[in-house]
Chains A and B, each alone.
Chain A
Amino acid sequence: MKRIDPLGSRLDLRHGCVDLSHGAGGRAMSRLIADIFHASFDNEWLQAGNDQSAFNVDGGRMVMTTDGYVVSPLFFPGGDIGCLAVHGTINDIAMAGAKPLYMSASFILEEGFPLGDLRRIAKSMGDASRAANVPIITGDTKVVERGKGDGVFISTACVGLAPAHIELSGNMARAGDAVLLSGSIGDHGVAIMSRRENLSFETEILSDTAALHDLVARMMEVAGPSIRLMRDPTRGGLAATLNEIAQQSQVGVRIEESAIPVKPQVAAACELLGLDPLFVANEGKLVAIVAPDIAQELLAVMRSHPLGRDSARIGTVIDDDHRFVQMATAFGGSRIVDWLSGEQLPRIC
């Protein structure tokens, strides 16, 4: 077989321009990050390709992350852009097995945006940060002219304390490792879509937006050294996360369709809209790649936590030079689960 660049064709830096697929969490976004940002900022931390970076300071090891939120609509079943920004940022720190400590938040507001809505968003952020015990200790506010923004964009940062002597990273998966998932997939994406202007449909599905650091802390207590890596499958869904892991760790991943929890309402909405839940975003789920001997025990621990009640072992890491994610279908066949091409739907987080 021909050697195929896993990120597809290179960017056309001379004539090209940014399009929506560059923000969708698929191969186009990975290509943009590699060709423009990694190329310009090049350093060992970025090269690791994680959603956060760890670095040494006097007396310990810190983790830092930053994140931007442009979700549309701003308010959706189960949450809003405010709590989403807090949860998502905390989760990026938690996926390093770290304890999130402090957050920053900066706001880009559009002229004309209702103050009542802004207050509602800020209150939701405050509530979420207090519940998570991660205070927002600094911030910034800018206002742009009408038409130059879309209501409100939020960008955040967070620092945390990394576990001693344990390094979780995307390149640590090994053949034989178990793939654990902390619950049902697609809830957030479907909740957002149900409120899209031209798509609105009735559903009881709520976004799964949640801060996962407490669940992670329990997992680290029980199995810290046996957890190779964790990721929260947000944009691009479970499919993108598993493909990233396969690329970074240079392995294959084999999953069982029948083992992946999908709520019936989510399955039905996806069926209607022609979407595949594997590609739909989550905001309160994690994937953990763990040593096989600890998988059962860890699964029990995850299931005992309210945010991991529906945890399941969904697959296994395998040797594969092609670094494919394969799925045994519930139908009895098998297929590749590729990255998402282009965007399924814009602006989900």
Chain B
Amino acid sequence: MKHVDEYRDGELAFGIARRIAAEARDDRSYRFMEFCGGHTHAISRYGIEDLLPHNIRMIHGPGCPVCVLPIGRIDAAIELATRSEVTLCVYGDLMRVPASNGSNLLMAKAAGADIRMIYSTLDAIRIAEHEPHRQVIFFAIGFETTTPPTAMAVRLAQKRALTNFSIFCNHVITPPAIQKILESGEPGAVEIDGFIGPAHVSTIIGTKPYSRFASDFHKSIVIAGFEPLDVLQAILMLIRQVNEGRAEVENQYIRAVSSEGNRKALAEIEDIFEMRESFEWRGLGEIPFSALRLRERYAEFDAERHFSIVTKQALDNPACECGAILRGVKHPRDCKLFGVGCTPERPLGACMVSSEGSCAAYWAYGRFRSSPKPSGRRAAE
């Protein structure tokens, strides 16, 4: 497949892996966090860790929007969906996110709530137009990448004067979460040497918002695409920065990311959304100025205002280690629930929910380290 196969070439991968093995110093270790779930997924799907020397550790970050959505918001969505006049439109990967009392949207749908899985915000607009007697609510979720499509839906609803369409806004912002991780200073937290910076998020926001992490926190950052060769090349670039004592924002993903980002999308986001003073991230807690809500002038499309939604605090299972895992303090295998009470079918914690979550990735990949290995080529050995 053109424009895809080029970035999954096994021979090229082997070449980069050899360079990584040659340039990584034996007398130290390297700890890199890939912030995005998309990178976590690529690392597990293509078996990238098999190609790395043992002294390079990848820490899976919190950049999976499904994983960091707090339970209280899912509870609120279920409450909304069970109203007789409401049709709730959601992206499919939200369906199994655990709410409190063991419920989720899939079960709420089975119990009779009108919940529909959609692929695009345009589907939600179409449903609202075709079913004017229904109150159609789009469950908006995601980082900067999925915010522009939500903005477009609001714009369309406004143009078409829809009175039965609103959004339940859960959009969050990437840089404040990176800052939270860097400032946590938690005992047991591993010192992170560098970050693989977001791919799709950066196509929207550009490279500039990351520069303070290099200047103020002295961290190496390489923005990288989601293809496996992108990830490997980014790791090599990070190793070079660390070895040379550099802390810079480098852009590996030049085919899609510019320093300024997508100005048109940013202008639209700016017009429609404003910053919340604070928002809860599952696993990371409250983070100031880290999430968006609709501006007052778009209040008619804001489900939170329209339906007077109050988000109640709901606690994770006390044995769940997702918080510590999302912060890089613990590993999925350290969690008592992993694989016992918490599986991809019935996830208890956030990290098991999405295929991009670190527990789900470890379930799908890492467990097999104690099994006979297939014939993957380890360049470092």
- Is B96 located at the chain interface by the 8 A CB criterion? yes
Tell which of B96, B120, B340, B370 touches A322, judged by Cβ atoms closer than 8 Å: B370
Q: Are B341 and A9 in touch, CB under 8 angstroms? A: yes
Q: Are B374 and A327 in touch, CB under 8 angstroms? A: yes
Known A-B contacts A2-B338, A271-B4; the reply to A341 vs B372 at CB < 8 A is no
Q: Are B106 and A326 in touch, CB under 8 angstroms? A: no
Task: How many A-B residue pairs have C-beta atoms within 8 angstroms? Tell me.
Answer: 143
- Is A43 located at the chain interface by the 8 A CB criterion? no
Tell which of A19, A273, A322, A336 touches B109, judged by Cβ atoms closer than 8 Å: A19
| B-contacting 9-mer, from A20-28, A82-90, A210-218 | A20-28
Known A-B contacts A329-B46, A336-B365; the reply to A17 vs B110 at CB < 8 A is yes
Tell which of B10, B106, B370 touches A330, judged by Cβ atoms closer than 8 Å: B10
Q: Are A2 and B339 in touch, CB under 8 angstroms? A: yes
Chain B: minimal CB distance from A208 (Å)? 20
Known A-B contacts A17-B110, A271-B1; the reply to A333 vs B345 at CB < 8 A is no
Q: Are A8 and B345 in touch, CB under 8 angstroms? A: yes
Docked complex Cα distance between A258 and B341 (Å)? 35
Provide the residues of chain B in CB contact with A258, threshold 8 Å. Answer: 10
- Is A342 located at the chain interface by the 8 A CB criterion? yes
Provide the residues of chain A in CB contact with B363, threshold 8 Å. Answer: 338
Provide the residues of chain B in CB contact with A335, threshold 8 Å. Answer: 44-47, 364-365, 368
Q: Are A264 and B1 in touch, CB under 8 angstroms? A: yes
Known A-B contacts A271-B4, A328-B375, A333-B46; the reply to A338 vs B107 at CB < 8 A is no
| A-contacting 9-mer, from B23-31, B48-56, B244-252 | B48-56
Task: Give a binary string over A13-36; 1 marks a CB under 8 Å from any B CB, 0 the rest.
Answer: 001111111000011100100000
- Is A254 located at the chain interface by the 8 A CB criterion? yes
Tell which of A9, A321, A328 touches B345, judged by Cβ atoms closer than 8 Å: A9
Provide the residues of chain A in CB contact with B365, threshold 8 Å. Answer: 335-336
- Is A118 located at the chain interface by the 8 A CB criterion? no
CB closest residue in chain A, given B103: A15
Q: Are A342 and B95 in touch, CB under 8 angstroms? A: yes
Docked complex Cα distance between A338 and B352 (Å)? 14
Q: Are B374 and A334 in touch, CB under 8 angstroms? A: yes
Task: Give a binary string over B306-342; 1 marks a CB under 8 Å from any A CB, 0 the rest.
Answer: 0000000000000000000000000000000011110
Interface size on B, residues (CB 8 A): 54
Q: Of residues 236 to 295 in A, which have CB atoms within 8 Å of B's CB atoms?
A: 252, 254, 258, 264, 267-268, 271, 273, 276
Known A-B contacts A8-B346, A19-B107, A199-B119; the reply to A333 vs B49 at CB < 8 A is yes
CB closest residue in chain B, given A258: B10
Q: Are A326 and B368 in touch, CB under 8 angstroms? A: yes
- Is A178 located at the chain interface by the 8 A CB criterion? no
CB closest residue in chain A, given B95: A342
A to B CB contacts below 8 Å, 14 in the list: A19-B107, A20-B110, A267-B1, A271-B4, A320-B371, A324-B368, A327-B374, A329-B46, A332-B17, A332-B47, A333-B376, A335-B45, A341-B360, A342-B345
Mark B residues whose CB is within 8 Å of A. 1, 4, 8-10, 13-14, 17, 44-51, 95-96, 102, 106-107, 109-111, 118-120, 123, 126, 228, 338-341, 343-346, 355, 360, 363-365, 367-368, 370-377, 379
Mark A residues whose CB is within 8 Å of B. 1-2, 4, 8-9, 12, 15-21, 26-28, 31, 198-199, 252, 254, 258, 264, 267-268, 271, 273, 276, 318-322, 324, 326-336, 338, 341-342
